[in-house]
Structure 1
Amino acid sequence: MDTSDTGGQLEEALERLHSAGPERLGRLTNHAPMVVEALAARGHADAVHGWLDRYRGRLEDLPAAVADVTADNWREALGDPRRVADWIAHFSRELSDHPWRAVLATWWPRLLPGVYGGSTHPVIRVGHAVRALEAGASAPRLAELAHGLGYWAARHHTVSGITSLPGAPTARASLDAVPAVHTAEGGFPARLAAVRRLPAWAEHVTDPDTARERLSELVRAATHRYATHGHGEETMLVHAATAPNAVLRALPSLPRDLWAPSLHAAWTASAAVTAMYAPAEPVEWSPSVRLTAEEVLERALAHGDEHVVKLTDTALDVGDDRALAAALRSVELSTPLA
């Protein structure tokens, strides 16, 4: 896809969105930039504005700036959500002065330890922005990368002190071995603080190509798992698949020496989400009818929920029947967008 493939509709949608902040009500993520990119990338640019019209009541204005983020003070601004407009402005300047892949390569290792921030939404937004830029650069797509990186920097949140448990040879078995966090108290930050043990998996991988293969395996396993475990929390468990897939999408735009660290960060994020929202028991589930990939996408679009659309987008990347079944399971479990 290049910019002409979307008829300029993705650009128009992003321009509509860039006066809005990355969150609403101080904690809920604005998913619109990710969804419109997914629809455009999947050949549904003609549906972008209609979907956005349905979603626009959930948008809030971008918060006011506080003070410039600079090369000298960026560390003290990292992880401060009040500085989101400052961070977006900083990345807008960086992207006007340097090639976007160079900016991404500089900041990716700085931001990667904070992948948990914003319930993993910032890295997901960056993954969508990178895919759009790889398809064809434009001013609104560069601005979207600035917004994604700015959101990630403002919500940067690290985790330490997690004990490594014995892992399993495969991503699927290792996700099955993740111990559940037995608490229903609080939101994502409180649940994340309760995650103290996670299985090790692929921790010795250093070869970039192997890292990419293992990351693809993780995305496939987490997507498949949603069909049988998504009822634990139909919204949040989507991120066990979409967060590592965002990292996977970014790999080709990054230096190869960042691929293995990216795998390790993606694993811990996916495993942590799995721990935080695990159901008491899996359920056996399969769709009543077998649909094509395009039919599944059309059902997701008609349903409209942002997480359903994004999981379906990831399921289409995986591309097999079990992944499509997971997407249909999200349609069944989730509340449609009004």
Structure 2
Amino acid sequence: MRGTDAGVLDEALERIHRAGPERRGWLSNHAPMAVEALVRHGHGAGAHRWLERYALAKLEDMPRSTDPVVEARWREALGDPRRLADWTVYFGRAVAEEGWRTVLERWWPRLLPGIAAGATHPVIRVGHAVRALLEDGDGAARTAELAHGLAYWAGRHQPLAAVSRPSGTASPAEALEAVPPVAAQEGGIRERLALLGSTAGWTAATAALRAPVGPDDARVLLTDLVTAATTRFAAHAHGDAVMLVHAATAPNAVLRTLPALPRELWVPSVEAAWAASAAVTAAYATPAAAVPRASGTVEEYFARAAVHGDEHVIKLADTALDVAARTGSEDALVAVEQAMRLIDPEDD
């Protein structure tokens, strides 16, 4: 990213940090993720216009902190959404005093078991923040963005039920294909995830993925998971395309964070990313449907996603470009094409 673009991102993040992580008591603030992706892919000139439109309908003021989080009793506040502002103050102070890498290394294993928090939006927000820090360098706005992401994760921390560690032989594509759907394909993600423990075959399906053999293999496995979740999106998204996006973007957020983490955290990170992707798949993937054809370059596809304007389309396009760059295949672009067809720009 050029220096001028980094300045655009920082200015946008400073504006976003006046808003809370949610609106209407649950729906996530996607602005920092979408803006980072827009600027990253050369659309910084339109990032503030996008943010203006988004802010009018989808941002609420940051609530006040009323009960400070104390390090010695952090578990008491974990998973309590009433403490979101308290967590934001805590992490803001922590990264300023200790440095973002130290805080991330300490808190990543604490937060990882609750990766389903906020429909996986907190880990995705953290992944975008870490990418900006790693690629563009430290900066006050970028460091503060990581603090906001970690705070959101802590406040909405949500473990998944009946998850087994990978111990099978299946590839990520095979394992995702074998994930059983939850019985009731209705309601929001919290209601659907609550059904995982009683879903026949769920525990066995989470165990079916092959176990990573050390950190380097874990990174390979996670890369393959992101590829599989992205490329299968087009055929399985017609039930709820907005929500199925996160089966790909959540593990990609973890993949982007790995370089900032100690290698001993890579295997558990992949296990958690797999659980999150499998959970979203169980909640929202539908039987295979007809898929469109891709036509255009990766740059053209991201430009079309930016014009479309929906935050989920932008985030999926951002992940799809990663996949396309690694594989040289158009399959990931088909996912973007389908997302633009199925997601209304006015959707929540």
TM-score range, shorter chain: over 0.9
Offset at residue 100 of structure 1 (A): 1.0
* Residue in structure 1 matched with residue 154 of structure 2 by the alignment: 153
1:191-231 deviation per Cα after TM superposition (whole angstroms, max 9, x unaligned): 00101314124453240000000000000000001011111
Offset at residue 170 of structure 1 (A): 1.1
**Structure 1 residues 78 and 7, CA, compared in 2 at 3 Å: closer, same or farther?**
closer
Asked if 1 retains the 8 angstrom alpha-carbon contact of 2:18 and 2:62, the reply is yes
Instruction: Choose from 314, 320, 342 the match for 1:333.
Output: 342
Question: In the TM superposition, what are the counterparts of 1:225-264 in structure 2 within 5 Å?
Answer: 225-264=232-271
TM-score, reference length from structure 2: 0.93
* Residue in structure 1 matched with residue 189 of structure 2 by the alignment: 188
TM-score, reference length from structure 1: 0.95
* Residue in structure 2 matched with residue 35 of structure 1 by the alignment: 34
* Residue in structure 2 matched with residue 94 of structure 1 by the alignment: 94
Query: Structure 2 stretches of 5 or more lacking a match?
Result: none
**Distance in 1 between residues matched to 2:187 and 2:268, nearest whole Å:** 30
* Residue in structure 2 matched with residue 296 of structure 1 by the alignment: 301
Offset at residue 163 of structure 1 (A): 6.3
**Distance in 2 between residues matched to 1:321 and 1:299, nearest whole Å:** 15
Name the % identity: 54
1:250-296 deviation per Cα after TM superposition (whole angstroms, max 9, x unaligned): 000000000000000000110011001121x2013132x51100110
Instruction: Choose from 301, 305, 309 the match for 2:310.
Output: 305
**Structure 1 residues 241 and 251, CA, compared in 2 at 3 Å: closer, same or farther?**
same
* Residue in structure 2 matched with residue 71 of structure 1 by the alignment: 71
146-155 or 7-16, which moves further after superposition?
Answer: 7-16
- 1:271 is the counterpart of 2:291: no
Offset at residue 44 of structure 1 (A): 1.4
Asked if 1 retains the 8 angstrom alpha-carbon contact of 2:121 and 2:250, the reply is yes
**Secondary structure at the residue paired with 1:310?**
helix
Offset at residue 161 of structure 1 (A): 2.8
Asked if 1 retains the 8 angstrom alpha-carbon contact of 2:171 and 2:210, the reply is no
**Distance in 2 between residues matched to 1:115 and 1:250, nearest whole Å:** 13
* Residue in structure 1 matched with residue 105 of structure 2 by the alignment: 105
Alignment length, in residue pairs? 335
Instruction: Choose from 311, 317, 321 the match for 2:322.
Output: 317
Q: Match of 2:306, as an amino acid?
A: L
Query: Structure 1 stretches of 5 or more lacking a match?
Result: none
Q: Match of 1:192, as an amino acid?
A: L
Asked if 1 retains the 8 angstrom alpha-carbon contact of 2:218 and 2:266, the reply is yes
Q: Pairwise CA RMSD of aligned residues?
A: 1.6
**Distance in 2 between residues matched to 1:215 and 1:160, nearest whole Å:** 21
* Residue in structure 2 matched with residue 179 of structure 1 by the alignment: 180
Instruction: Choose from 203, 206, 225 the match for 1:218.
Output: 225
**Secondary structure at the residue paired with 1:8?**
helix
**Distance in 2 between residues matched to 1:160 and 1:336, nearest whole Å:** 33
Asked if 1 retains the 8 angstrom alpha-carbon contact of 2:65 and 2:85, the reply is yes
Q: Match of 1:63, as an amino acid?
A: P
**Distance in 2 between residues matched to 1:301 and 1:99, nearest whole Å:** 33
**Structure 1 residues 55 and 168, CA, compared in 2 at 3 Å: closer, same or farther?**
same
- 1:45 is the counterpart of 2:44: yes
Offset at residue 99 of structure 1 (A): 2.0
Offset at residue 98 of structure 1 (A): 1.2
**Structure 1 residues 165 and 14, CA, compared in 2 at 3 Å: closer, same or farther?**
closer
Asked if 2 retains the 8 angstrom alpha-carbon contact of 1:201 and 1:267, the reply is no
**Distance in 2 between residues matched to 1:296 and 1:178, nearest whole Å:** 30
